[in-house]
Structure 1
Amino acid sequence: MTIQQLREKISNLAAQANQLIADKGDQIWSPEDQAKFDNLATEINGAKAQIKNLETMRELEAEKFFNDATRKPQPAGGDVEISALVAVALYMRHGSNVNAEQAAAIRNAMSTTTPAEGGYTVPAEVAAMVIDRLKAFGGMRDVATVLTTETGHAMNFPTSDGTSEIGEIVAENGSAGSGDITFNTLGLPVFKYSSKQIALPLELIQDSAIDVVAFVVNRLATRIARIQNLHQTVGTGTGQPLGLIPASTVGKVGATGQTTTVTYGDLVDVKHSVNRAYRGNAKWMMNDLSVASLSKLVDTVGRPIWIPAVVEGAPDLLLGKPIAINDDVPVMAANAKSIAFGDLAQYTIRDVANSTTMRRFDDSAFALKGQVGFCGWTRSGGNLLDTAAVRLYQNSAT
């Protein structure tokens, strides 16, 4: 089976498992029901293990190709035909210490940049690796709308809250009343993010057993991912993106004494403080530590309102809506805006295409310590373009 076929199999099995849970409802499970569920779970885990094995083999084949490509003797005076990823690896491992043919291949794969930092704009394959890392870290890119623009020029978006607008009945031959729409504008500026310089041992970078591209990109992208997710969540909007939490309106404040807790009634109030038009695709977002505070809450008849995910990677449910975990959302504390609910896709992250750059440093500050320096840059921004779409729960001040 291919990886795609295995993923489809997992999706089908997961649907059967969830249907079994739904069918049983509050009934006590029979041994046969439990056995059926266990068999589905075993098949799911087996398919996931098979996917992991296939991906491991792909990585091994890619490493072999890399080693063969970088060690293969090239004909005198001939062009070096290597992939973009191999060219990036040559640059990372050796910097400018390559022959003329290899240098030409590196320039073809990685275009030079003009900023003061210098360096190279990375090829699409490496840029995709960076984006994948950004998605895997934090939580905002899992729920937000991601907009890619060709440039970083200023952009303003018209906004209007029409949730309270209604029509009218007009008498025969009567005139329609006036109902002008009020528009505002929200900016979506981009900012240049840096990983800061990192220092790595020269021996590690030159070790052919190391996937140097994945290693370095992971280090650089993880740092950028952390700061971007932080700003997209709680950014002030001054010199950085305006985050989801500061951009949203409080829908419910906890009663006195609820500095670190939330009640079932509070969550219901937050949910219904969001206009129904936005609740179809709505999600909860909170810090993982906050989930522990509400995982034992029950409704008025004693039923749990938090349902853990059965399928690995699927979200838990709270009052029937998915929970997105984001550890940059404040934990429950006095006055903390600790829970968000609504159509989180109304938060837009703006990336500038072809803005991911990288530079290797070989100057004395690194060389004297037997190290190589690397730094990465990319341009991104974010804002909540429809402020009516999300509401917050705020803990009590005392």
Structure 2
Amino acid sequence: MSYVKALLERRQNVWEQSKELLDKAEAEKRDLTAEEEQTYQRLNADLDKIDARAKELQEAEQRTKDADEAFRSLLDRPADRDTPKGDNTALRSFLTGESRSYEILPEGRVDFRALTKGTASAGGNTVRTTFYNRLMEYLIESSGLMSAGPTVLNTASGEPIEIPIVTSLSEAALVAEGGQIPTSEPAFGKRTLGAYKYGAMMKVSSELLTDTAVDLEGFLARQAGRALGNKFGAAGITGTGSNQPAGLVTSATAGVTGGTGVVGVPTADNLIDLFYSVIAPYRNSSSAAWLVKDSTMAAIRKLKDDNGQYLWQPSLVAGTPETLLGKPVYTDPNVAGTGLNAKSVIFGDISAYYVRLVGGVRFERSDDFDFDHDMVTFRALLRADGVLADQTGAIKYFAGGAS
């Protein structure tokens, strides 16, 4: 724990150095010099490295817990050759070719923050929950959108789902004594979620499968989760909605457009205006968050309000996101960088975006696909869709001003 504490103190020290550099330039009413800008970028890189190290420590801690659980399971297992095959045996059976396929279903410790609809209950052997949980963790880490907490619907089959929404509310009226009370009905609409298919294939040598002592389950989880997460994550941000998911940015409404002369970079006032362009029920929601590209963070870290306070605040707890105006900030490589007319900053109630997952991630194995190289091929498939259910202003964006 002493190392973790030192890492946290180092992170805070780096951030203080960054603030001191920016404060000095502001006090002298000038931009950063070339040398100061180089130092500032180095400090930002140090922050990113410290964050990455903290993430590695978290993953190592989780691997240790998983290993402890596995050893306890082995030590507690009765020495009975007739004991029915368990979930881990089913996985090993699949990896060694005894069984040809299985489906990973979301049972057990899958942390869907919001709504879960339907769970597949038949077909195939399920792998133990730690494997599926790690797979989902890597899928989420590959997508800032998934990390930010959309509403997730998980269904057993892939038929279209209709989501009813209210597009306008009833309105009351001031009525004179004896006057007629006007009628006012709410208006309803719907959003449709389909099931687009994403796939990835990976090859593993037979020697690796036979001889390795490394975490094969973690290896497969990282490869499949990252591949599927990167592809679906891109559509979840910028998808057109035609033969692919409707992206969050595509469906969001305009909040603030930057002024001329800022080359698309948001100012502190722009971000404050964007924050308050989202009405209180959405911006005060526990699901309200920011989404930006990594490269945008360096610019945002420099911004202060009228009281000289930085809008961006570093996290004091490893593994938790930084905050901007009190709301968590998530980075996603698929959000546009700063530029003229670019939708570079997203803010709002991320739970208004619905992600639909069909069943689990399906894995299939082939010993014949690359037979002449003695390679075993694994195929991972994911069926998913996404749509912004509330398009009345739950999520808004900042667009760089046109000069």
Q: Which band: TM-score by shorter chain? A: 0.7 to 0.9
**Residue deviations 1:291-339, cap 9 Å, x none?**
1111111112322221111111222221222212222211112221111
Deviation for aligned residue 1:290: 0.8
Q: Report 1:354-373 matches (<5 A).
A: 355-363=360-368, 365-373=369-377
The corresponding residue for 2:311 is 305
The corresponding residue for 2:297 is 291
Aligned length: 331
Distance (whole Å) between structure 1 residues aligned to residue 91 and residue 225 of structure 2:
15
Alignment gaps of 5+ in structure 2 = 6-11, 13-52, 106-122
User: Do 2:264 and 2:402's aligned partners in 1 also have CA atoms closer than 8 Å?
Assistant: no
**Residue deviations 1:208-266, cap 9 Å, x none?**
41222222232122211111111111111111111100010111111223334111121
The corresponding residue for 2:109 is none
Deviation for aligned residue 1:390: 0.7
SS of the residue 2:187 aligns to: coil
Q: Report 1:168-179 matches (<5 A).
A: 168-179=173-184
SS of the residue 1:322 aligns to: strand
Residue type of the alignment partner of 1:286? V
The corresponding residue for 2:205 is 201
Q: Flag the 1:359–1:108 CA change in 2: closer, same or farther, 3 A.
A: closer
Q: Flag the 1:166–1:322 CA change in 2: closer, same or farther, 3 A.
A: farther
Distance (whole Å) between structure 2 residues aligned to residue 293 and residue 345 of structure 1:
27
CA RMSD between the two structures: 3.5
Structure having the higher Rg: 1
Which of 268, 274, 289 matches 1:270? 274
Q: Flag the 1:243–1:50 CA change in 2: closer, same or farther, 3 A.
A: closer
Distance (whole Å) between structure 2 residues aligned to residue 357 and residue 181 of structure 1:
42
Q: Flag the 1:376–1:283 CA change in 2: closer, same or farther, 3 A.
A: same
Deviation for aligned residue 1:129: 3.6
User: Do 2:102 and 2:362's aligned partners in 1 also have CA atoms closer than 8 Å?
Assistant: no
**Residue deviations 1:175-229, cap 9 Å, x none?**
322323232221111212212x211222112124122222223212221111111
Distance (whole Å) between structure 2 residues aligned to residue 50 and residue 288 of structure 1:
21
2:233 pairs with 1:229: yes
SS of the residue 2:143 aligns to: coil
Distance (whole Å) between structure 2 residues aligned to residue 170 and residue 229 of structure 1:
51
Distance (whole Å) between structure 2 residues aligned to residue 368 and residue 174 of structure 1:
87
Q: Flag the 1:391–1:108 CA change in 2: closer, same or farther, 3 A.
A: closer
Residue type of the alignment partner of 2:183? S
The corresponding residue for 2:284 is 280
Residue type of the alignment partner of 1:326? D
Distance (whole Å) between structure 2 residues aligned to residue 50 and residue 248 of structure 1:
34
Residue type of the alignment partner of 1:83? G
**Residue deviations 1:94-125, cap 9 Å, x none?**
214xxxxxx6xx889989xxxxxxx9675463
TM-score, length of structure 2 as denominator length: 0.72
SS of the residue 1:345 aligns to: helix
User: Do 1:63 and 1:211's aligned partners in 2 also have CA atoms closer than 8 Å?
Assistant: no
User: Do 2:365 and 2:378's aligned partners in 1 also have CA atoms closer than 8 Å?
Assistant: yes
Distance (whole Å) between structure 2 residues aligned to residue 67 and residue 359 of structure 1:
31
TM-score, length of structure 1 as denominator length: 0.73
Q: Flag the 1:289–1:65 CA change in 2: closer, same or farther, 3 A.
A: same
The corresponding residue for 1:249 is 253
Q: Report 1:14-93 matches (<5 A).
A: 56=64, 58-59=66-67, 62=70, 79=82, 81-92=84-95
2:159 pairs with 1:150: no
Q: Flag the 1:360–1:241 CA change in 2: closer, same or farther, 3 A.
A: same
Q: Flag the 1:59–1:277 CA change in 2: closer, same or farther, 3 A.
A: same
The corresponding residue for 1:135 is 140
Distance (whole Å) between structure 1 residues aligned to residue 101 and residue 269 of structure 2:
61
User: Do 1:284 and 1:342's aligned partners in 2 also have CA atoms closer than 8 Å?
Assistant: yes
The corresponding residue for 1:95 is 97
Distance (whole Å) between structure 1 residues aligned to residue 280 and residue 214 of structure 2:
52
Q: Flag the 1:367–1:248 CA change in 2: closer, same or farther, 3 A.
A: same
Q: Flag the 1:328–1:378 CA change in 2: closer, same or farther, 3 A.
A: same
